[in-house]
Amino acid sequence: MVRPQLGHPTELELRILKVLWRRSPQLVSEVREALGQQGRKLAHTSVITTLNTMVRKKYVRRVKAGRAFLFSPRVDESDVSRRILADVVNRVFDGSARAVLLSLFDHRAVDPDELKELRRLITQKAKHQTET
């Protein structure tokens, strides 16, 4: 059975993108080493296969460098995170920002500095919406 295209990266593809967003271009061996340091030890062929799939999906580009290939991201980190978050908000929370925040506060402790920053951002957003 063919897996349907979700419109955003799989978990492994996202891990690889995070590696490449931090530093690119990188060789397959460098990507594999970075994943290994994160506790995700994969065979060299698995990393190559995933990177080639990501090239076909247009998530990364590959450039020949001698006998090897260098990989770099074609997609922007903020665009990917925005698409994934929008998908979760719509599918899980029926588009409700309130439900997202309530769930977040129920499942994760928020330190006082984060809470203060969230209040500031909410106030800023509310002010901006009343001005427009």
Per-domain residue ranges of the chain: 11-73, 77-131
**Count of other CB atoms within 10 angstroms of residue 63:** 10
β-pairing, 68-73 with 26-27?
Answer: antiparallel
* Residue-level pLDDT at 2: 42
pTM for the complete prediction? 0.80
Considering only residues 95 and 2, tell me which one the structure prediction assigns the higher pLDDT: 95
**130: pLDDT confidence band, cut at 50, 70 and 90?**
confident
Give the CATH fold of the 11-73 domain.
Arc Repressor Mutant, subunit A (1.10.10)
State how far the Cα of 15 lies from the Cα of 13, in Å rounded to an integer: 5
Which pLDDT score, from 0 to 100, does residue 8 have?
Answer: 86
Q: Which residue is listed with tokens 């594999």?
A: 32
pLDDT exceeds cutoff 80 at 17: yes
